[in-house]
A and B are shown apart, each in its own frame.
Chain A
Amino acid sequence: MITFQNVSKSYGRKLVLDNLSFEIKEGQFVILIGPSGCGKTTTLKMINRLVKPDSGEIYINGINIMEQNPVELRRGIGYVIQQIGLFPNMTVEQNISVVPKLLKYPKERWQSIVRELLEMVNMPYEEYAHKYPSELSGGQQQRIGVLRALAASPPIVLMDEPFGALDPITRDALQEEVKKLQKKLKKTIVFVTHDMEEALRLADTIVFMDNGRILQMASPEEMLRNPASDIIKEFMGRHINSRGPAELYVEDVMRTRVLKVPKTLKVLECLDRMDRWEVNSVIVLNEDDTYAGTVQLEAIQEHGKVGHEIGELVSQDTPTVSRQCKAQEVLDQLLDSPYKYLVVLNDDRTVAGLITRTSLTKAIGEALWGAKS
């Protein structure tokens, strides 16, 4: 469906794409991954002509895209970008209906599209259609970003690190939704990420790039089993060894993207960040970045005073564990305790991450049945 033939591109003297040739089949979820500067985003943006190749050809369904009108080409390809892709001056409905309107769909048609799409992600039309992006949480905004890309039912959707800025829990949920949508709507999706976990979870085919070349293009299973080079092995990290659950350590199962705030942060600012991350508890750090404790949303709601520092509300009740602990021991602790998570500390008492019931279950599941759910 999408074919790259000997595509090269340089910025100044730096060669970003080096004679790239590959093919993406219809209905596949393809993930471009690799270290930063490997050319994955450049490759993606060439598909909708936001970046022009220096040499080589790109075909979509056998048609050379350089011979197509770029505006028409782009209207037939969904596009989701990281973070701020939504137009802040337009409501949710206006944002989703941008492309249908550009394509001059009649009003009834685009309105029913907006309704249907919002329903698909469980955001009722009546409640959300007339809100502005600034009135939504980060996760909701990016859901709308995805819907906008789907609105004119393009056969191809491009996604440029769409979930990079979201917190882990929201990201998990959105990945799940996108995977479901793709299966249901049978889109060809080209997706850029630098997160191997995301790639293993979503992709039918992973394209691993480095220095403007493809090092390996394979299914997640194949890549896990036979990584073609050391860089890929390194990227796969903990996913690659199919260790049994008995050999899992805390550091293998923790989440590393967690909301940490300094003790001196004001209560309101802290609430604001928690809202943006869509979390109801937060890890508080001392001045030297060591772990001070946690604060629950309820504690802020009950005792928080405007203008006071969050440090005053810190509780030390949440259990902590060392990252070298066995996951097995932690499981018991997590199941027995009333807490929904444990804080993982490094040897110097800085925070390494969090273990939640979900992250632990997932890691054990992967260890038992392989990485792909």
Chain B
Amino acid sequence: MNFIEFVGRNRAVILSSLAQHIYLVCISVFAGILVSIPAGILLSRHKKAAEKILAVVGIVQTIPGLVMLGIALLLFGVGNTPALVVLSVYSILPILRNTYTGLTEVQLGLIEAGYGIGMTSSQLLFKVQLPLALPSIISGIRISTVYIVSWAALAALIGAGGLGDLIWTGLSTYNTNFILAGAIPSAILAFLFSGLIGAVQRLATPRGLREVKHDE
């Protein structure tokens, strides 16, 4: 049986695995955003603590995915929940770090100007700092998403399904078709997400920050 036939015959399974995979990625990146953007804002206001906290989060990031899944399995059992928790944790660091750098790289002169003309700190945040940091934040989300697409393949190990299911099935039965049916869509998925978020990033970059041009 060649690969095309295999795909034709198992279309339903592949599609539902793909859907589950997208679900895992979207939910966990979304959770990551919810946690890390406010946390990044908070860190940008406590720079001394920030370096230490970022270092700790960085260490968590280096714990192998399998170990994390094992721990999550012990804590939350089998299924979606432990997988989502682990993936969310992994998605935090890139977004957190980029939010923090994006915000702290806003020139001090602008912050002084903002306060000097009577902005409150939240007005300064929403009108100046966040718009200027947005390209950096979105690029963090992009890195996280691509990352999570590949990590999510591991989630199948604790029963969360997704394209990983096909890959692990293929690996344990020496069935190349299964492996390819899981690997190819997840590669495409990573490309698509990356391209999509890249486009959003270009749109979200304030026009004044794009390429400088003089028309005189």
Measured CB to CB, the nearest residue on chain B to A76 is B118
Q: B213 touches which one: A48, A87, A88, A135 (CB < 8 A)?
A: A135
Q: Does B67 contact A (CB under 8 A)?
A: no
Measured CB to CB, the nearest residue on chain B to A136 is B214
With A133-B208, A134-B212 as known contacts, state yes or no: A87 contacts B119, CB within 8 Å: no
Shortest Cβ distance from residue B89 to the other chain A in the assembled complex, whole angstroms:
32
Q: Encode contact with B along A212-240: 1 for CB under 8 Å, 0 otherwise.
A: 00000000000000000000000000000
A88 near B109 with CB under 8 A, answer no
With A71-B120, A102-B118 as known contacts, state yes or no: A89 contacts B112, CB within 8 Å: no
A75 near B118 with CB under 8 A, answer yes
CB within 8 Å of B: which of A277-297?
Answer: none
CB within 8 Å of B: which of A193-225?
Answer: none
Compute how far the CA of A84 lies from the CA of B214 in the bound complex, rounded to whole angstroms: 18
Q: Does A192 contact B (CB under 8 A)?
A: no
How many residues in A have their beta carbons less than 8 Å from beta carbons of B?
A: 34
Enumerate chain B residues within 8 angstroms of A78, measured Cβ to Cβ.
Answer: 117
Q: B118 touches which one: A72, A82, A84 (CB < 8 A)?
A: A72
Enumerate chain A residues within 8 angstroms of B31, measured Cβ to Cβ.
Answer: none
Shortest Cβ distance from residue A123 to the other chain B in the assembled complex, whole angstroms:
13
Q: Does B215 contact A (CB under 8 A)?
A: yes
Enumerate chain A residues within 8 angstroms of B209, measured Cβ to Cβ.
Answer: 88-89, 134
Q: Does B159 contact A (CB under 8 A)?
A: no
CB within 8 Å of A: which of B178-216?
Answer: 206-209, 212-216
B117 near A132 with CB under 8 A, answer no
Enumerate chain A residues within 8 angstroms of B115, measured Cβ to Cβ.
Answer: 50, 74
Compute how far the CA of A74 lies from the CA of B114 in the bound complex, rounded to whole angstroms: 10
How many residues in B have their beta carbons less than 8 Å from beta carbons of A?
A: 26
A102 near B119 with CB under 8 A, answer yes
Partner-A contacts on B (CB < 8 A) = 107, 109-110, 112-120, 123, 127-128, 131-132, 206-209, 212-216
Per CB-CB distance, the 7 closest pairs between chain A and chain B, nearest first, are A132-B208, A75-B118, A89-B206, A74-B118, A79-B116, A85-B113, A89-B131
Shortest Cβ distance from residue A169 to the other chain B in the assembled complex, whole angstroms:
16
Measured CB to CB, the nearest residue on chain B to A84 is B109
Q: Does A90 contact B (CB under 8 A)?
A: yes
Q: Encode contact with B along A72-103: 1 for CB under 8 Å, 0 otherwise.
A: 11111111011111111111000000110010
A99 near B107 with CB under 8 A, answer no
Shortest Cβ distance from residue A139 to the other chain B in the assembled complex, whole angstroms:
12
Which of A73, A75, A85: most chain B Cβ within 10 A? A85
Enumerate chain B residues within 8 angstroms of A81, measured Cβ to Cβ.
Answer: 109, 112-113, 116
Q: Does A275 contact B (CB under 8 A)?
A: yes
Q: Can you identify 7 A-B contacts, CB atoms within 8 angstroms? A: A71-B120, A74-B118, A81-B116, A84-B113, A85-B110, A98-B119, A134-B208
B117 near A74 with CB under 8 A, answer yes
Compute how far the CA of A135 lies from the CA of B213 in the bound complex, rounded to whole angstroms: 6
Compute how far the CA of A48 lies from the CA of B116 in the bound complex, rounded to whole angstroms: 7
Q: Encode contact with B along A52-76: 1 for CB under 8 Å, 0 otherwise.
A: 0000000000000000000111111
Compute how far the CA of A98 lies from the CA of B110 in the bound complex, rounded to whole angstroms: 13
